[in-house]
Structures are given as C-alpha cells and as structure tokens.
C-alpha cells in the first residue's frame, strides 16, 4: 500500500452498524499514540476513527478500509454536513441527562422532515430552531416541555416572545417534576453551594 496523509478523508466501515462513513481519520500503529503516524499501518496496525458528532472513537482493522472514489474527494465535493446547535436551550452537564436529551432528539427527528431556521450566529456555529414540517411544532420547545433541557436566558428584544414561551414550558415541566426537575429546581442548590449564578 502507498503512503497516505494524516487526516486524509477515507471511507471506513462503521464498527457496530457495518455501514460506511467518511470521517477524518488518523493512522496509527499499536505502539504509537494516535495522530503521530502518517503511513498505512502494517499487519499489526489499526485505523483510528472518530465521529465528533456522537463522541465515538474506535480502531478499525485495515480490511475495513476502502478508498474514497475520486468523485467524492473533498477537493471535488466539499463536505455536505453543516454543524448547528439548538437556539434558546441549554443541554445539562450531567452525562446521563445529556444522553437522554440526545436520545430524545434522535428519536424525534430521525427519518422526519424538519424545517430549520437560523435564529442567530453564535460562537462556533449558527444557533437554530427546528420545526417538524407536518405539525410545525418546535423540536427545542418539545425538549423543554419534557424537562430534558433548560432554557438559555437571552435578553434580545426580538427573542422575548419565544423565550417567554420556552420559560412557561420550563415552569410547567418543573411543576410536573419531569426528568431534570424530578427533585425540584436543582439550579438553585448548585448556585448557592458552588458559587454559580443563573
């Protein structure tokens, strides 16, 4: 096999799903740290693959590697995915609560047509709201109603109507003690005990 460049885009077989993915990949030998070697691994090596969306990393054997067809090269076809983040909500820091929120989003929007609206440009990526195309209901608001996320406090005048709706949904979730709010308002305890301010 020929020498390859570090961070080259390759077609890799996914671990559990056996589908094909096109992540940024680094080559590594078992005896060397990830990202330090830019050659095709030998028989003892593996291909370290990471998917930043789901924070999954795995090492795949060279047999699960396929060259990317020239028509899909990043030089010919730019990346087709764009990173967005939900506007007006905060995902909890607790890993289990975060996983519950992610699972709910995936379950709700997978194989469903949604409408995306860019609300504002934030640091890193645009902040958006998603609506289901058929019912026009807000995906982020649904997460707030289920008590899976918190409302992000915003003071801009153009967002006050939406923020009020989100805050009302959050208060209803608190009253019903749903998910994050099952033990009451945990944020007040954190603020007093650990010096956080809301």
Rounded to whole angstroms, the Cα distance separating 14 from 57 reads: 10
**DSSP 8-state class, residue 189:** H
pLDDT tens per residue across span 140-150: 999 999 999 99
What is the reported pLDDT for 73? 74
List domains and CATH numbers for the chain: 11-72 (no CATH), 85-194 (2.40.50.90)
Rounded to whole angstroms, the Cα distance separating 92 from 132 reads: 24
Confidence of residue 78 (pLDDT cuts 50, 70, 90): confident
Torsion region of 184: left, alpha or beta (phi above 0 gives left; psi -120 to 50 gives alpha): left
pLDDT tens per residue across span 108-142: 999 999 999 999 998 888 999 999 999 999 999 99
Q: Is the pTM of this model over 0.85?
A: no
pLDDT tens per residue across span 179-198: 999 988 776 555 545 555 55
Give the DSSP H or E segment for 90: strand 89-90
Average pLDDT, the chain: 74
**DSSP 8-state class, residue 67:** P
3 compared with 195, residue with greater pLDDT? 195
Confidence of residue 167 (pLDDT cuts 50, 70, 90): very high
What is the reported pLDDT for 1? 38
Confidence of residue 10 (pLDDT cuts 50, 70, 90): low
Please give the average per-residue pLDDT across 72-90, as a whole number.
83
């Amino acid at each position: 096999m020929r020498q390859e460049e570090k961070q080259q885009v390759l077609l890799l077989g996914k671990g559990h799903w056996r589908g094909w993915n096109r992540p940024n990949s680094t080559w590594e030998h078992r005896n060397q740290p990830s990202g330090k070697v830019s050659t095709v691994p030998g028989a003892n090596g593996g291909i370290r693959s990471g998917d930043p969306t789901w924070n999954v990393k795995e090492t795949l054997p060279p047999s699960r590697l396929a060259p990317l067809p020239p028509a899909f090269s990043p030089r010919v076809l730019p990346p087709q995915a764009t990173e967005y983040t939900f506007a007006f909500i905060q995902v909890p820091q607790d890993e289990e609560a975060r996983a519950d929120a992610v699972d709910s989003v995936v379950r709700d929007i997978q194989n469903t047509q949604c409408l995306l609206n860019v609300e504002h440009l934030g640091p890193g990526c645009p902040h958006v709201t998603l609506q289901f195309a058929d019912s026009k209901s807000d995906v982020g608001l649904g997460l707030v109603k289920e008590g899976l996320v918190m409302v992000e406090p915003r003071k801009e005048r153009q967002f006050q109507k939406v923020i009020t709706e989100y805050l009302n949904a959050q208060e209803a979730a608190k009253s019903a003690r749903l998910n994050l709010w099952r033990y009451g308002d945990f944020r007040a305890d954190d603020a007093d005990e650990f010096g956080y301010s809301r």
